[in-house]
Amino acid sequence: MSGEKIKPDISGVPTLPGVYLMKDAKDHTLYIGKAINLRNRVRSYFRQSAGHSQRIALMVSLAEKVDFIVTGNEIEALILENNLIKKEQPRFNVMLRDDKTYPYLKLTTNEKFPRLMIVRKVLKDGAQYFGPYVSAKSVRSAKGLIQRVFPLRLSKDSLDNAAPRRACLNYQMKRCLAPCSGKVTQQEYGEMVERAAKFLRGKDGEVLSELEKKMTVTAEKHEFEKAAAVRDQIFAIRDINEKQKVDTTRHTDEDYVASLCGAGGGIVRLLMVRGGKLLGDQNFTFKKADDPAELAGAFIEQFYGSAFAVPGEVLVNVMPADYEVVAAWLSELKGRKVEITCPEQGRKKQMMDMALENAKYSLTEFALGEESVKAALGEIKNTIGMERWPAVMEAVDISNISGVSAVGSLVTFFNGAPSKKNYKRYRVTTEGPDDYAMVAEVVKRRFKRLKEEEKAYPDILMIDGGPGQVSAAQEAIRPYAPDQVIIGIAKGKERDNPETDRIFLAGRKEPLPFPPTSAGKFLLQRLRDEAHRFAIQYHRQTREKAAFHHGIDDISGIGPKRRKLLIQAFGSLKGAKNATVDEIRDALSISEKLAKQIHEKL
C-alpha cells in the first residue's frame, strides 16, 4: 500500500471496537491499546508519515504480530485494556505503579469504645473505613485532625468487659476521654464517635449544628465546663475548615490532574477536593512517558480503575485523545455524569496552575535522578555521534544591554551535575552590541587559557544561541581545539515553550533530532539555563557597581576610606565639586598633587 510501511500482517484486524496487543518475534506483549476502529488504529502505527515519539517508534520497529480482542463498545474496550495492562505489564505502555496498597482510616465501631486506626486493608469486620487516601502523609494528617477535634482513645488494647483502671497522661492533656477508667459513659462516647464519622464523610455542617445545640443545652443546665469543651470543638472544626477550604461557595468534589513530560519521564500532580476542601495532593512519577495527553488519559484510567472514589469533575491541563469515552466510563463508575474539563480561567485555572507549578519542581527532581542523568548523557552521546559519554560539558552565555556592561559566563557540568567550583566570569571588552564577537572573545580566552595551562578541553562546549553564534565560537577556538564538539541551543517559534527549543551542531545546518521531551534535551536545557542565570547575576552586579562608580575611584591613592572622608567633609561628591584644591587637601590630609587630581576628576 502506497505511503505505508506494514510490517505485521493486519489484514485480519476488524473495523470494530476492541483492544489490540502489539507483540514481538518471541510473542512478548510490547504494547496494549484500545480503539473504536481496530484496523484504522493499528494501521496508523505503520505509516511512514507517522510522527511517533522515540518510545513508540522503537515499539513499532520491534512489533512482529498484532493480536486483538473485539468488545461490544468503547467503554468495554477501556475496561479490558486497563485489566490487560495490569496483568501483562507491557514494556512500552505508560503505567501507574499501583502495586502498593493505599491507606485507609478505620473507625473500630465493632468495639465497645471505638478508636481510629490507619490500615492498608479493608476487612468485613463491622468497622467503618474511610478512604483510600493518596498518601501516608495525607492519611496521617486526617487522623491528626480528627484526634484534635474528637479525643478518641489511643490505646490499642480491647476495653470490652475490661475493669476500670487509672487514666493515663492523655486524659490529663485532654487528648482522650478515658473510657478505660470510666470517665465517660458509653452513650456519651458513642455520640462523639458518630460525629467523628460524619466529619470524616464531609458532613461538617451537620456536626456543627449538633454541637451548637449541645452547647446551648449544657449551658442552660449550668454545666459550664462541658459547654466550654463543646465550644472548643466547634472552634476547632471551623479552624480546620478554614485552612482546608478551597476558594469556592459550593461543596464541590473535584480532582485536578496536572501532567507534564520531560527528561524521558512524566509527572502527574493530583489535587483532591472533596466537599469544597483540599483533602490531599500527591505526585505520581512515570519512567516511560513522553506525551502529556497520553499520560493524563493513562493515569485517569488506571487510578480510578482501582479503589478511589470518582469525583463529579476531573480537571486536566491537557485533554486526553479519547476523553469522551473515559468520561462515559467514569460516569458509569460513579452512577451519575462525570465531566473531564480543561480550565481556562477563574478559581479552577488557579488551582490547575498551582498543581502544574508543583509538577514542574517534581519533574526537575526526577531529571536530577541518577538513572535519568545516565539516560540523558547516553542520548546526547548517540544523537551527536560522539565516541564517549560527555562527562564534562561547558556552556557560555553573554549578558548585556545594547552592548553596555557586557559580561560572559561559563558554567561546567560534570557527569550531568553543576560543578560550581569551575564556573568562570568574564568582563567583555568588545564594544557595541556585537553578540557574535562577544561570544568569540569569551571562548577564545577560555580555550587559550586551557591550552597554556595544558588542561583538558570539555567534551562539549555549548553556546546560548543559534548557528551564527556556534560558527563564531568555532572560528575563535580553531587554533586551540579544531576538533572541539560545539553545539548551540536556540529558542523556537514558541519562545515560552521549551519543547520548541532547537539544538544545533557546528557544521550542520539542520537541528539535531532531539525529541521535544527527551532526557538529553532536558539536560542540555538545564545547562543553558544555568549559564543564563549565572550571566544575569554577574551582569546585575556589574551594573550596580557601575552606577556607584566615579572618576575619582580610578585615582591611585583614593580608596573607600578617603572617598568616605570626602563625602563627610562636603556632604556629597557633588558638594566636593565646588571645593577648592586647598580645601580638599586639608579635608583629606593629602598632598597638593593628589588634591589637584581629585579636583580635576570632580
Q: Please give, one letter per residue, the 3-state secondary structure of 13-38.
A: CCCCCEEEEEECCCCCEEEEEEECCH
Longest Cα pair distance anywhere in the chain, in angstroms? 105
User: Do 533 and 397 belong together in one domain?
Assistant: yes
Residue 340, pLDDT score = 93
Structure confidence at residue 11 (pLDDT): 79
Of 159, 163, 143, the C-alpha closest to 151 is 143
Q: Which of 30, 11, 12 is nearest to 21 (CA)?
A: 30
123 & 37 share domain:
no
| Residue 452 sits in the same domain as residue 532 | yes
What's the rounded Cα separation, in Å, for the pair 537 and 399? 9
The whole-angstrom separation of Cα 431 and Cα 426 is 14
Last residue of a domain, one of 337, 367, 397: 367
195 and 286 both lie in a single domain: no
Q: At what angle do helices 292-304 and 74-88 cross, to 10 degrees?
A: 90
Q: In this structure, is residue 259 part of a structural domain?
A: yes
Last residue of a domain, one of 335, 367, 399: 367
Q: Residue 70: in which H helix or E strand, if any?
A: strand 65-70
Boundary of a domain, candidates 244, 278, 304? 244
> Residue 361: is its pLDDT beyond 70?
yes
CA distance readout (Å), 436 to 407, 423, 466, 538: 13, 21, 10, 20
Name the least confident of 7-16, 227-236, 472-481: 227-236
Residue-wise pLDDT for 56-99, tens only, equals 888 888 898 999 999 988 889 998 998 898 888 898 888 876 55
Q: 561: domain CATH number?
A: 1.10.150
Number of domains in the chain: 5
Would 329 be classed as within a structural domain?
yes
What is the CA 264 to chain-centroid distance, rounded? 14
Condensed to tens digits (0 to 9), the pLDDT of residues 125-137 reads: 888 887 777 777 7
Tens of pLDDT, residue by residue over 487-540, are 999 988 777 788 889 999 998 888 998 888 788 898 999 999 999 888 888 767
Average pLDDT over residues 378-385: 91
| Residue 452 and residue 412 share a domain | yes
In a domain, residue 146? The reply is: yes
Q: Which amino acid is at 164?
A: P
State yes or no: pLDDT of 554 exceeds 60.
no
564 within domain boundaries:
yes
Residue corresponding to grid cell 461557595: 249
- Asked if residue 556 and residue 541 are part of one domain, the reply reads no
Q: Choose between 207 and 191: higher pLDDT.
A: 191
The answer on pLDDT for 402 being more than 90 is no
Give all strands (DSSP E) within 324-385, no chain letters.
339-341
Using one digit for the tens of pLDDT, what is the confidence trace for 261-271?
887 788 999 98
Residue 584 sits in which domain range? 551-601
Whether residue 451 sits in one domain with residue 330: no
Contacts of 167 (CB under 8 A, 6+ apart): 176, 178, 180, 181, 183
Give the pLDDT of residue 486.
95
Is 216 domain-assigned? yes
Q: How far is Cα 339 from Cα 101, in angstroms, rounded to an integer?
A: 27
Please indicate whether residue 242 or residue 515 has the higher confidence score (pLDDT). Answer: 515
pLDDT at 274 over 50: yes
Model confidence at 206: pLDDT above 90: no
pLDDT at 3 over 60: no
Residue with the bigger pLDDT between 505 and 408: it is 505
H-run or E-run covering 541: helix 519-547
Q: Provide the β-strand partners of residue 408.
A: 398, 426
Interatomic CA distance for residues 215 and 127, integer angstroms: 29
Residues 437, 523: one domain?
yes
When pLDDT is averaged across residues 425-445 and rounded to a whole number, the result is 87
Query: Quick one: which of 54, 193, 184 has its CA closest to 115?
Result: 193
Give me the pLDDT at residue 369, please.
Answer: 77
* Mean pLDDT over the full length of the chain: 81
CATH number for the domain including 39?
Answer: 3.40.1440.10
Percentage of the residues of the chain whose pLDDT score is greater than 90:
25
Residue 156: exposed, middle, or buried by beta-carbon count in 10 A (0-12, 13-18, 19+)?
exposed
Could you tell me if residue 417 is inside a domain? yes
443 and 524, same domain (yes or no):
yes
Residue 50 has pLDDT above 70, yes or no: no
Task: Report how far residue 48's alpha carbon sits from residue 125's, in angstroms, rounded to the nearest whole number.
Answer: 59
Same domain, residue pair 230 and 112: yes
More confident call, 346 vs 591: 346
Q: Is the pLDDT of residue 1 over 50?
A: no
The helix or strand, by DSSP H or E, that contains position 321, with its residue range, turns out to be none
The proportion of the chain whose per-residue pLDDT surpasses 70, expressed as a percent, equals: 86
**Is residue 8 domain-resident?**
no
The answer to whether residue 462 sits within a structural domain is yes
Q: For residues 384 and 485, is the Cβ–Cβ distance under 8 A?
A: yes
Task: Tell me: do 525 and 407 sit in the same domain.
Answer: yes
Same domain membership, residue 570 and residue 495: no
Interatomic CA distance for residues 263 and 356, integer angstroms: 16
Q: What's the residue count for the chain? A: 602
Least confident of 213-222, 334-343, 593-602: 593-602
pLDDT average, residue stretch 425-443: 86
Q: Which residue has the cell 570539555?
A: 458
CATH assignment of the domain containing 503: 3.30.420.340
- The C-alpha torsion from 128 through 132 and 137 to 142, rounded to 10°, is -40
pLDDT digits (tens, 9 = 90+) for 287-342: 778 889 999 999 998 888 765 678 889 999 999 988 899 999 999 888 889 999 99
Task: Summarize the confidence of residues 179-189 as an average pLDDT.
Answer: 81
The average pLDDT across 371-381 equals 87
